[in-house]
Structure 1
């Protein structure tokens, strides 16, 4: 039974570090977009306004993809870290890489993602979500290498 308490304390310690890292990653993404994701999503219940409804969907897709992509990176960092400091370092590297790659995506597309989401371009939101998830998988595997 004594070994279980050690596992539980490690679980709680890693949870205590990884959840704030996820929050920092989400906050970083929300800080670099000119629109307010939660406001767009919250305003999406107005079904009489198709633009608000579409904007909410687009924002939910893109933010959800970013959360999932960040979670993949952090899960790999947790799995492969040798201690909490290692987790923190690799988590921060993963968050930074995700943000940099978002800027690269914004740069190479023929449209501006940050302009299309508030306009309700759901297709851009879905593409952004899949890209964030794909980048998350790629970065997660790089952490394990």
Structure 2
């Protein structure tokens, strides 16, 4: 029993620092992705959320999840930190492109979101999540 517990502690001591570094890097990629996303959108999500605009909140929350999904797949399938960084950057870029394409498909997206149109927000989130799932599957190979 003692050797089993000792093995567990050894594995934890070896694996935990790696886990924490990989987690921190992935969370940093997510934060950068969200920061870039909020800069390229034609509306101010923070203001909309503060005003209680449900469409703005849905759009921001959906975008965060859509960015996180392929990053999670990258984290789960990458053995090295450099893999996480490189594929994470690719994942974030692809998600930002998906947003850009979605804005072309939804007429007057800014006006729709700012006026609280939840249907438009849900459509945008649906496109982003759909691309995120496909992106994650591609990342996982």
Q: How many aligned residue pairs are there?
A: 133
Structure 2, unaligned runs of 5 or more: 1-8
Q: Paired residue for 1:7? A: 15
Aligned counterparts, 1:1-145, within 5 A: 1-44=9-52, 56-109=53-106, 111-145=107-141
User: Please, what is the CA RMSD of the aligned residues?
Assistant: 1.1
Q: After the TM superposition, which parts of structure 1 deviate over 6 Å for at least 4 consecutive aligned residues?
A: none
Q: Which is greater in Rg? A: 2
Question: Whole-Å Cα distance in 1 between the matches of residues 127 and 55 of structure 2?
Answer: 14
Deviation at 1:71, TM superposition (A): 0.9
CA contact (8 A) 2:98 2:127 kept: no
Structure 1, unaligned runs of 5 or more: 45-55
Question: Whole-Å Cα distance in 1 between the matches of residues 108 and 87 of structure 2?
Answer: 29
Q: Paired residue for 1:50? A: none
Deviation at 1:99, TM superposition (A): 0.7
Question: Whole-Å Cα distance in 2 between the matches of residues 66 and 135 of structure 1?
Answer: 11
Normalised to the residue count of structure 1, the TM-score between the two structures is 0.87
Question: Whole-Å Cα distance in 2 between the matches of residues 21 and 97 of structure 1?
Answer: 13
